[in-house]
């Protein structure tokens, strides 16, 4: 699944979960039908963001005439959504093409803010604190073995591979894992400062993303039996923080898989 497909699913979820007042406020700010075409190689995938009539996001072209059509590539759109790339700069560099009311393109930031401020993407400080660990400890979790193997894999990586993985992740991932008995244990994967794995919640630093997932589901993700986006859509994986980082999870687990012998 492309980065953009994951992003549009997250946008749709965030918009669908808005209160009536918040959705009305967003429609008032945007007040347009956006058609966004994402190119990947020879293929083009289109999504419609209707904030004129319905206040919803759908896959496929607009049924009527869109107020603006934006054409870009997968990486550029993901960078726009994460704030790594400015829309005007992308346009000037030829990475973003616009047909229709060009001024509407400047309003896209309002939509991206919805994801960053939605309950699924952020949480009060109290909710981000470390869960109470199970009295039985990490040994009650299948994931304990997974993180131990990941820790060994990271420690044995050559310097160049470690640097490449750090560049790829460039974030601190906190995993809040719940086992079959309902107990929660945290692990932290640091791919920002010093590639490493530690048992427990992130200490001294704020994690860029907190992933809440079941013990069984995390192991299935690591083994490639479950897709991260599918797990998110099925409610098996919940995210707080930078949602876009969740799209990197499959790739990171895949990179560590051969070394972790999963």
- What pLDDT does 258 receive? 47
pLDDT digits 0-9 by tens, 142-192: 888 888 888 888 887 787 888 888 888 899 999 999 998 899 999 999 998
Write down the pLDDT at residue 71. 95
DSSP designation for 83: T
pLDDT, position 224: 83
| Burial of 232 (C-beta count, 10 Å sphere; 0-12/13-18/19+) | buried
Task: Check residue 257 and give its pLDDT.
Answer: 67
> What span, in angstroms and rounded, lies between the C-alpha atoms of 21 and 115?
16
Give the predicted TM-score (pTM) of the model. Answer: 0.49
- Give me the domains of the chain, ranges plus CATH numbers: 3-117 (3.30.1050.10), 138-260 (3.30.1050.10)
Low-confidence residues in the chain, pLDDT < 50: 120-136, 258-262
pLDDT of residue 115: 60
Alpha-carbon distances, residue 218 vs 143, 151, 246 (angstroms): 7, 16, 13
Q: How far is CA 192 from CA 123, 162, 165, 168, 171, in A?
A: 21, 11, 10, 10, 5
């Amino acid at each position: 699944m492309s980065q953009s497909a994951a992003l549009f699913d997250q946008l749709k979820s965030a918009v669908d979960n808005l209160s009536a007042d918040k959705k009305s406020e967003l429609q008032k700010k945007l007040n347009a039908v956006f058609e966004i075409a994402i190119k990947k190689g020879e293929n083009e995938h289109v999504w419609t963001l209707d904030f004129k009539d319905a206040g919803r996001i759908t896959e496929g072209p607009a049924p009527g005439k869109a107020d603006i059509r934006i054409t870009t590539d997968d990486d550029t759109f993901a960078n726009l959504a994460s704030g790594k790339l400015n829309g005007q700069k992308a346009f000037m560099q030829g990475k973003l093409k616009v047909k229709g009311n060009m001024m509407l393109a400047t309003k896209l930031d309002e939509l991206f803010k919805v994801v960053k401020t939605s309950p699924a993407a952020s949480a009060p400080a109290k909710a981000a604190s470390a869960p109470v660990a199970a009295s039985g400890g990490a040994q009650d979790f299948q994931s304990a073995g997974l993180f131990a193997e990941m820790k060994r894999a990271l420690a044995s990586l050559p310097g160049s591979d470690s640097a490449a993985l750090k560049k790829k992740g460039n974030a601190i991932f906190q995993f809040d894992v719940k086992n079959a008995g309902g107990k929660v244990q945290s692990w932290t994967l640091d791919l920002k400062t010093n590639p490493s794995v530690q048992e427990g919640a992130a200490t001294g630093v704020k994690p860029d993303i907190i992933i809440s997932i079941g013990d069984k589901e995390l192991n299935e993700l690591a083994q490639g039996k479950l897709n991260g986006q599918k797990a998110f859509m099925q409610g098996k994986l919940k995210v707080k923080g930078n949602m876009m980082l969740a799209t990197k999870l499959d790739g990171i687990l895949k990179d560590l898989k051969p070394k972790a012998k999963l």
